[in-house]
Amino acid sequence: MNIVIKNATIVDSSSEFNQKKVDIKIENGVIAEIASEINSTNFEILSLENLHVSSGWMDSSVSFGEPGFEDRETIANGLNVAAKSGFTHIAYQPNTSPVIDNQSIVSFVKTKAANFATTLHPIGAFTKNQEGADLAEMYDMQNAGAIAFGDYKKSTANANLLKIGLQYTQDFNATVIAFCNDSLIKGKGVVHEGIKSTQLGLKGVPPLAEEIVLARNLFLLEYTGGKMHVPTISTAKSVEMIKEAKVKGLNVTCSVAIHNLVLTDEVLTDFDTRFKVNPPIRDKAHQQALINGVLDGTIDVITSDHCAMDIEHKKMEFDMAKDGTIGLESAFGVLLEILPLDVVVEKLQAAKSIFLNDENVIKVGSKADLTLFDPSKEYTFNKNDILSKSKNSAFLNHKMKGFVYGIYNNNKLVIK
């Protein structure tokens, strides 16, 4: 579609138009002109209050459910939710049924996701059926469209298998996603181990469960070479170890989940299972270390870690409930309460350069891959703001600063 976006403030540190208010003319999905005033004859006009535009955002960890768990979320509705939440790209986790562990399932998922404004990029499982025993068909999956390989929320217990995988994936320049959690140290823990877990009588997950596996994985990466992405780190020591690894020159990136960045374990007082996530929401000291890690560049990516979960698996005793919270719809509004706008935009875009090798800049001749938002609007996030099929949001009744209008991508405009 051909469109002129009027009076938009550009938020793109790589663009010559950064922080300037301009009109943007888009023809056939490509930015044709950027100027202070553009003749819009025969073009559709888009004019929105306090409109800001950045290069499109990418969420590096999204779980809907389809195939197999369509009762939690479908790909079609999930992509519509992502678009209205400001994400032009999502990395789709393999925790489906069947698991995304071969090229046919990768192709199936990509076919289901075709022709949407938001582009879905499958993550292939690192091991067959995510069981940690045998490597999955990673090369074939990459040829079918997978962008990286990892078992969702599962550490590879077999260190030799991870070593072989890191060596093998170098042949086709693939990224291994290595979640860090020692299941034996975690045991039956369900929340952060600390004062709050003791007060509530809930079994705790010590930071050591994450850190000991991360240390091992970084040693393996140093030995093998290759590319590793560490998803959703949650502890101060993890931030330190990632920083040290980068100083050494290791090819490692990492992400943090929004709920670990914004919330602390003080929210657990009412045993609300919306706050049961993996890794667990930790205390104030760890939260501050994560914020500092974002600000100093140690943490590359902020993810919603969106995980749709049906009410039957959430409305039960805390110990028994499934992990996970949805987060696409609330991502932007909660981040602006703790981080500057330019940092939020940078960290929501960063996954594109890591996983897609895409340094999309707002300039004439570039593909129109844009997120549209108002960074000043304040409101309270309630059930009416949840567009997902599942309603397990950790941010219900949370005060928001920043409202997403929608996106323009793949020659399609989606406005909330």
Q: Catalytic site residue 305?
A: yes
Q: Residue 131: CB partners within 8 Å, gap ≥ 6?
A: none
> Which is catalytic among the residues 59, 305, 369, 385?
305
Cα 125–Cα 129–Cα 135 angle in degrees, nearest 5: 60
d(CA 149, CA 152): 9
Q: Where does residue 114 rank: exposed (0-12), middle (13-18), buried (19+ CB within 10 A)? A: exposed
Cα 365–Cα 369–Cα 372 angle in degrees, nearest 5: 120
Residue 126 tokens, joined: 């690192």
Q: Where does residue 132 rank: exposed (0-12), middle (13-18), buried (19+ CB within 10 A)? A: middle
Cβ-contact 300, 231 below 8 angstroms: no
Provide the residue count of the chain: 416
Backbone angles phi, psi at 159, to 5 degrees: -60, -35
Assign 11 to helix, strand or coil.
Answer: coil
**Largest Cα–Cα distance in the chain?**
66
Residue 225 tokens, joined: 């070479």
Residue 129 tokens, joined: 């059926």
d(CA 307, CA 414): 22
Cβ-contact 30, 367 below 8 angstroms: yes
Cβ-contact 56, 361 below 8 angstroms: no
Q: How far is CA 20 from CA 10, 341, 401, in A?
A: 6, 15, 22
d(CA 362, CA 123): 27
Cβ-contact 308, 388 below 8 angstroms: yes
Task: Enumerate the active-site residues.
Answer: 305
